[in-house]
Amino acid sequence: MSNLMADLPRLTKRSALFLDFDGTLAPIQDDPDTVAMPGETLAAINRLQLFVAEAICIISGRDIRDLSSRVPLSHWRAGGHGLEICKPGEAPATVAASPPRSLSNAVEMSVRGLEGVRIEHKGPVFAVHFRRAPELGDTLLARLSDTVADQPDYKVQAGKMVIEVKPVSANKGRALESLMGQPPFAGRSPIMIGDDTTDEDAFVVANRLGGTSIKVGEGPTEAHHRLETPDSVTSWLSEQGQG
Domain ranges of the chain: 15-93+170-239, 101-167
From residue 42, alpha-carbon distances to 13, 31, 228, 238 in Å are: 19, 21, 19, 10
Q: Residue 242 pLDDT > 90, yes or no?
A: no
**For helices 101-111 and 137-147, what crossing angle results, to 10°?**
150
pLDDT of res. 6: 47
| Mean pLDDT confidence for 217-229 | 95
Beta bridge partners of 79: 84
- The mean pLDDT value for 206-235 works out to 96
For 131-177, what is each residue's pLDDT tens digit?
A: 999 999 999 999 999 999 999 999 999 988 999 999 999 999 999 99
Residue 50: predicted pLDDT:
87
User: pLDDT for 4-45, tens place per residue?
Assistant: 544 899 999 999 999 999 999 999 988 888 999 999 999 999
Is 20 among the residues known to form the active site?
Answer: yes
pLDDT of residue 2: 41
Q: What is the pLDDT of residue 243?
A: 54
Q: Could you say which of 20, 63, 199, 201 is catalytic?
A: 20
Strand ranges across the sheet with 84-86: 84-86, 76-79, 56-59, 15-19, 189-194, 212-216, 225-227
Q: Which of these CATH numbers, 3.40.350.10, 3.40.470.10, 3.40.228.10, 3.30.1240.20, describes 101-167?
A: 3.30.1240.20
Per-residue burial over 42-54, b if 16 or more Cβ lie within 10 Å, else e, is bebbeebbebbeb
Give 58-79 pLDDT, tens digit per residue.
Answer: 999 999 999 999 999 999 999 9
CATH assignment of 15-93+170-239, among 3.40.50.10470, 3.40.50.1000, 3.20.20.150, 3.40.50.300 = 3.40.50.1000
> In this predicted model, what pLDDT tens digit does every residue of 82-132 receive, in sequence order?
999 999 999 999 988 889 999 999 999 999 999 999 999 888 999 999 999
